[in-house]
Structure 1
Amino acid sequence: MSSGKRLWRWRSSPLRRREDVIEAWIVLAVWLVVVVCGGVAALVTDRSAEHEFAQQRTHRHPVSAVLLTDARHGVTADWSTDGRVQGALRWTAPDGTARTGHALVDGGLKAGARVTVWQDDRGRLSPSQPTGRDEGHAEAALFAAAAALAVAAPAFGAGAVARARLDRRRMAHWDREWDLVGPRWGPRTG
């Protein structure tokens, strides 16, 4: 028997039903979507995240800033996970101009304290320091896994729904056939 016939043995089975063939194609399609589309989504997401993190590292720079007002502990610090509060700051932009703005600073600092903040190439404050190389690789891998899962979950779900419908159709066919064949075997019991 050739290997092609072995792989497709179910094609010539007298017990094969139309629903069996449809189910085989559904399973194949689901796995193709999961493997190919999930893999592509994961790869694209990983590359995009890695690129974004590299851009952050290239375009965000630390700068020393002076706190203009006291950074008191308060409601903001109570709601903050790390106890930081909004503080008014003055810093020098890359072009040499003085800038002022607000950023999160440690609570309890007094006016005039020096703090390190992050700015972009234009001197605008960034919300946080750039993601480090190792942390960026880990985050990109997590984003890639989430993207693959976002593609795989609906595909598996749709495949499961389609297979459940096919099972109901198979059961209905078996019930009809049993109603035709069953009486020939004798009276029903129970």
Structure 2
Amino acid sequence: MRAAAGIWRWRHNPLRRATDLAEAWLALVTALLLLTAGPVVGWLTGTLTDAYLRHSVRIQRQQRHATTATVLGPATVARPAALDPESAAASEQRRTVVAQWTAPDGTRRTGTLTTGVPYARTGGTFPVWTDGSGRIVPRPMEPATASVHATLAGIGAAGAFGVLVECARRLLLWRLVRRRFADLDRAWAAVGPDWGRAGAGS
């Protein structure tokens, strides 16, 4: 509203310069882009990202299979030479074990897996996901997680669009200010030598 009022105020002002009117129009266009195009960019980005992620979720659900792994015993893992506090904290909650699971084709597979401490005892079971060949893979993405990622992508796109528009406005405003100073310099160069002289029309 301030930009629109600025344009209206400068329309018939005898002191109006071309750069003043251009600056007011620039502010109005920037405000309109931020209020209209920004949300559209965010909505489109979020919608497209959500469709892509949901398609990925469906494919993952089709290609990944849930099964149960049985702990055969602890795995021998080389300890790091230097103690890492973060690694030590993680090892208190996770254990590396030798486990056995069933592939989608019915064959038994054995390998080294990492699981939570409550499931790390011999004979314990824990859920795992495998691909079509029986290799352990991460669990499929949850639809709720996909929605969160899509929402964040939309918000990020809208924010990035706003930053881009504001940077463009500041760049154009900088050029307008330089043009305004150049006009003042030319005007002063024309009248400066006669400033204050009698009969010079000043």
**Alpha-carbon distance change, 85 to 116 in structure 1, aligned in 2, over 3 angstroms:** same
1:170 Cα deviation (Å)?
Answer: 2.1
| Alignment check: 8 A CA contact 1:66 1:89 kept | yes
- Does 2:99 correspond to 1:89? yes
Which among 143, 147, 170 is matched to residue 137 of structure 1? 147
The one-letter code of the counterpart of 1:136 is A
**Alpha-carbon distance change, 144 to 37 in structure 1, aligned in 2, over 3 angstroms:** closer
What TM-score, normalized to structure 1?
0.65
Give the length in aligned residue pairs.
Answer: 180
- Does 2:110 correspond to 1:110? no
**Alpha-carbon distance change, 111 to 22 in structure 1, aligned in 2, over 3 angstroms:** same
1:3 paired residue number: none
2:47 paired residue number: 43
**Alpha-carbon distance change, 120 to 155 in structure 1, aligned in 2, over 3 angstroms:** farther
| Alignment check: 8 A CA contact 1:63 1:91 kept | yes
| Alignment check: 8 A CA contact 1:66 1:90 kept | yes
| Alignment check: 8 A CA contact 1:72 1:85 kept | no
**Alpha-carbon distance change, 27 to 95 in structure 1, aligned in 2, over 3 angstroms:** farther
The one-letter code of the counterpart of 1:115 is F
1:159 paired residue number: 169
**Alpha-carbon distance change, 39 to 163 in structure 1, aligned in 2, over 3 angstroms:** farther
Percentage identity across paired residues of the two chains: 31
Structure 1: runs of 5 or more not aligned: 1-5
Cα distance per residue 1:57-91 (max 9 Å; x no partner)? 44433211122331689768526398224433321
The one-letter code of the counterpart of 1:123 is G
Asked which structure has the greater CA Rg, the reply is 2
1:117 Cα deviation (Å)?
Answer: 1.1
- Does 2:157 correspond to 1:147? yes
| Alignment check: 8 A CA contact 2:72 2:97 kept | yes
The one-letter code of the counterpart of 2:123 is G
C-alpha RMSD of matched pairs (Å): 4.0
The one-letter code of the counterpart of 2:102 is T
